[in-house]
Structure 1
Amino acid sequence: MANGTPPTKQSEAEIKLTFDMRKLWIDHTIWTRGFIVSNLAGLEDQKKVLERLLQNQVDIGNAIKPYYGKDAGNKLTELLKEHILIAGNIIDAAKKGDQANLEKYNKEWYRNADDITNFLTSANPNWSKKELTDLLYMHLKLTTDEVVARIHKDWDADIRAFDVGENHIIKMADALTAGIVKQFPKKFE
Structure 2
Amino acid sequence: MEATPARGPVTRGVTLVLVALLSAFFAWTLPRADAQPVVTATAHAHAGAQASPAPHTAAQQAFHDQMRRLWEDHVTWTRLAIVTFAADGQPGFGPTAARLLQNQVDIGDAIKPFYGDAAGNALTALLHDHITIAVELLQAAKDGNTAAFTDAKDRWYANSDDIADFLAQANPRFWPQSEMRAAMRMHLDQTLAEAAHELGGDYAASVADYDAVHAHILAMADLLSNGLIGAFPQLIR
Give TM class, smaller chain: over 0.9
Structure having greater relative contact order (Cα 8 Å, sep ≥ 6): 2
Q: Relative to 1, partners in 2 of residues 1:8 and 1:118: Cα closer, same or farther, differing over 3 Å? A: closer
- Per-residue deviation, 1:37: 0.9
Residues 8-157 of structure 1: matches in 2 within 5 Å? 10-42=56-88, 43-125=90-172, 126-157=174-205
Counterpart CA distance in 2 for 1:166 and 1:88 is 20
Rate the CA distance shift 1:9–1:86 in 2: closer, same or farther, 3 A. Answer: closer
Q: Is the 8 A contact 1:13 1:187 kept in 2?
A: no
Contact 2:55 2:61 in 1 (8 A): no
Shift, 1:147, TM fit = 0.9
Distance of aligned partners of 1:9 and 1:117 in 2 relative to their CA distance in 1, 3 Å threshold: closer
Q: Which piece of structure 1 moves more, 39-48 or 26-35?
A: 39-48
* 8 Å Cα contact 1:142-1:164 kept in structure 2: yes
Q: How many residues align?
A: 183
Structure 2 counterpart SS, 1:16: helix
Q: Quote the residue 1:3 is aligned against.
A: none
Q: Is the 8 A contact 1:145 1:161 kept in 2?
A: yes
Identity %: 42
Q: Give the TM-score normalised by the residue count of structure 2.
A: 0.75
Alignment gaps of 5+ in structure 2 = 1-52
Contact 1:40 1:91 in 2 (8 A): no
In angstroms, what is the RMSD of aligned CA positions? Answer: 1.3
- Structure 1 range deviating more: 163-172 or 123-132: 123-132
TM-score for the superposition, normalised by structure 1:
0.93
1:167, CA displacement in angstroms?
0.6
User: Could you tell which deviates more after superposition, 44-53 or 7-16?
Assistant: 7-16
Provide runs of 4+ in structure 1 moved above 3 Å: none
Deviation at 1:187, TM superposition (A): 2.1
